[in-house]
Structure 1
């Protein structure tokens, strides 16, 4: 799609404000997880790049020199396209690393520490480096620039990002399969209440309770955003790649991954006793309620 350069700069400016607002909102635990550290790095990188793009646009008559190269609107469009490709390349690696961290936190009850913060920082730097390396050396990315003078260039061709919808679709299918399995297991055990199945039945009820509560907590917070993403899937409307990666999306992804891992791992006994380690989340309050009978069975 073709978007005017002022609109691109305005979108990036509002995105920077939103990024920093959400980072400030999560300031108490922003550095306790990989997604928190990556959110800070994203806010810093995007602020610096937005200032660079704005400076180039203001001096688009060719008076801005960098290492002997005249920077014009062509370079603004080129850098925006490169930025979008780097963001698209980061989507899946960030989701995979965050899901592995959440799995270890919930299943192994790994506590946050200074060593973990350092590891998260190193992984963040490595991901930025590998994404840029992939875009410049390994991908088939070809810039799309109009053949005209930079004085007549007022719009940039911007690629769409599909990775967000792919990740949401995969996580939704995983969550739906786990919920369906929990419902089917409960019904099967109700139909065959044998004595040797009492223990399995109690575990199934615990899993079903955890899945239901997880879905309720998650949907209470993010239902509107899920509906919006579903509309994007149905309509031929794309998300500009330079807007695809932002702190708001990372906050949603954090809650979504916590929900999926809780349903898959299902630490019902730890949750009932308040011993389960749930990753930090500024939007969903992961509190669970179990009946006394359920606690005795678990």
Structure 2
């Protein structure tokens, strides 16, 4: 798709404001999960990108000199395409790592908060490095930088993203399979355990939908009316709002898979931090009912 540079700046600027607003909203526990730490790093990268793009665009007449390299409109387009490719390469690894992080938080005994913070920070930096390495060395990414006429000098070709639809589809299937697995265990579990697990799944789904159903309806309408015809620019596909939704979704999936365990019954496990869903109280009640 072809977008003007001002529209790219406007989109990235709005994304940065939304990112930092959500980070501030979750400031009390933003560093207690991989999703939170990665969200902060994403906000920093987006802020750096918008500052670089804006500086180059403002000085587009003479260009910006950086180590004897004159940065022009073509570099804005190139950086926007590279940024979108890196974000696209990060979608699936972020889902996998966040899911494993939630599974470890729920299933394993509590570890040192400082140790977990260091591990999550290291994994975050490693993912950014590997994603950039993949885009530059292993992928078939080819920048689209064509000579254009004078009236198109402030326009760029940018790629659209499809990873979000793939991730949502996968998560919906996973959540559905977890729910079916939980309610169809009569032949291998006793009646009390089955009832407890079914209660957990129902409460998890109710908690998740009560928090996210209005947004899901809005996004579905937006997707059908605006995004499917034109597509979403790849540099907007990865944002903190999406990470917040992904965080709640992955917690719901992990809770459905793990179910009422002895660690929950004894109060030895913790539910990952979530600013949008009250998992701890509801799940504790469900676990107590099943034990």
- Same fold (TM > 0.5): yes
1:254 has 2:247 as partner: yes
Instruction: Report matched runs for 1:1-298 at 5 Å.
Output: 1-111=1-111, 113-148=113-148, 152-185=152-185, 200-231=190-221, 232=223, 235-271=228-264, 274-286=267-279, 287-288=281-282, 295=288, 298=291
Partner of 1:192: none
Any unmatched runs of 5+ in structure 1?
Answer: 190-196
Any unmatched runs of 5+ in structure 2?
Answer: none
Distance 2:44 2:138 in 1: 26
- Alignment length (residue pairs): 287
Change (3 A) 1:297 1:158: closer
Question: Which stretch of structure 1 is more off in the superposition, 108-117 or 128-137?
Answer: 108-117
Distance 1:181 1:122 in 2: 34
Asked whether the 8 Å contact 1:165–1:229 carries over to 2, the reply is no
Change (3 A) 1:178 1:6: same
Distance 1:48 1:35 in 2: 20
Q: Secondary structure at the match of 1:156?
A: strand
Asked whether the 8 Å contact 1:88–1:163 carries over to 2, the reply is yes
Distance 2:166 2:39 in 1: 21
Distance 2:12 2:72 in 1: 18
Shift of 1:61: 1.3
Distance 2:137 2:218 in 1: 35
Q: Secondary structure at the match of 2:3?
A: strand
Asked whether the 8 Å contact 1:62–1:71 carries over to 2, the reply is no
CA RMSD of aligned residues (A): 2.3
Distance 2:68 2:254 in 1: 52
Distance 1:45 1:273 in 2: 41
Shift of 1:270: 4.5
Shift of 1:269: 4.8
Cα distance per residue 1:109-156 (max 9 Å; x no partner): 334511111111111111111111110111000111221367741211
Asked whether the 8 Å contact 1:32–1:117 carries over to 2, the reply is yes
Cα distance per residue 1:162-220 (max 9 Å; x no partner): 111111111111111222333444xx67xxxxxxx8x6111110110000000000011
Shift of 1:273: 5.5
